[in-house]
């Protein structure tokens, strides 16, 4: 199965980390990505620019409404993602637990819908 691991973290907190701490975190991310690639689990993944760079788009009654900022103001922001291949949810959870930001933020594990299978509300 494919899972999207959404990485939520506090942008404010991340801005406060020191240069060397940040380098260590990126290094750890790089290592995780290499490991996942080596065992065929990695399908994609990126860091996202900060939410101040975000644009929100809605179409209402045919009219395009474009605004600044993320969709919702929250304590933690979506900062990046991994798209992985895993045998089951437990394996996806195990991968999520290895993401460095899991220690300070939150990883949301979402199964990818395949072949138009029904999605639970």
Partner 1 sequence: MDFEKLHREESGRILATLIRLLGDFDLAEEMLQEAYAVALQKWPVEGTPANPRAWLISTARHKAIDRLRRDQRLERKSEEIAKTAETTTAMESDGDKEMPVDDRLRLIFTCCHPSLPLEARVALTLRTVCGITTEEISRAFLVPLATMAQRLVRAKGKIREAGIPYRVPLQEELRDRLDGVLLVVYLIFNEGYLATSGDALIRRELCAEAMRLGRVLCDLLPEQAEAQALLGLMLLHDSRRDARVSADGELILLEEQDRSLWHAEQIREGTEIVESALRRGAASLYAVQASIAALHANARTAAETDWAQIAALYDVLLRMQASPVIEVNRAVAVAMARSIEEGLALLDEIEKREELEKFHLLPAARADLLRRLGRNAEAAETYRRALTLATNDIERRFLRRRLAEVENLNAHRS
Task: Identify which of residues 70 and 111 has a Cβ nearer to partner 1 in the complex.
Answer: 111
Which residue, 25 or 43, is less far from partner 1 as judged by CB?
43
Judged by CB under 8 A, does residue 40 bind partner 1? no
Q: Which of residues 44-83 bind partner 1 (CB under 8 A)?
A: none
Find out whether 42 and 82 touch, Cβ atoms under 8 Å.
Answer: yes
Q: Is the dihedral of CA 106, 37, 50, 27 positive or negative?
A: positive
**Residues pairing with 2 in the sheet:** 85
* C-alpha to C-alpha distance for 11 and 75, rounded to whole angstroms: 9
Retrieve residue 65's tokens.
């409404």
Our finding on whether 108 is near partner 1 (CB under 8 A) is: no
Coil, strand, or helix at residue 107? Answer: strand
Interface segment toward partner 1; rule CB under 8 A; list 32-40, 57-65, 69-77, 106-114: 106-114
Q: Which residue's CB is nearer to partner 1, number 51 or number 106?
A: 106
Site for partner 1 in 85-104 (CB under 8 A): 86-94
Write the CA distances from 32 to 14, 28, 84, integer angstroms: 19, 6, 12
Residue number with CB closer to partner 1 (73 or 90): 90
- Chain residues that interact with partner 1, rule: CB under 8 A: 1, 3, 86-94, 109, 111, 113, 117-120
């Amino acid at each position: 199965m494919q899972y999207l691991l959404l990485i939520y973290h506090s942008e404010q907190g991340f801005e406060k980390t020191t240069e060397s701490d940040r380098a260590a975190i990126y290094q750890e991310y790089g290592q995780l990505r290499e490991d996942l690639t080596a065992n065929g689990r990695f399908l994609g993944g990126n860091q996202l620019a900060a939410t101040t760079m975000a644009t929100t788009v809605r179409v209402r009654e045919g009219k395009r409404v474009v605004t600044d900022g993320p969709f919702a103001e929250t304590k933690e922001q979506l900062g990046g993602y991994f798209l992985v291949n895993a045998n089951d949810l437990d394996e996806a959870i195990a991968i999520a637990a290895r993401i460095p930001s899991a220690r300070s933020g939150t990883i949301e594990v979402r199964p990818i819908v395949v072949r138009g299978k029904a999605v639970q509300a």
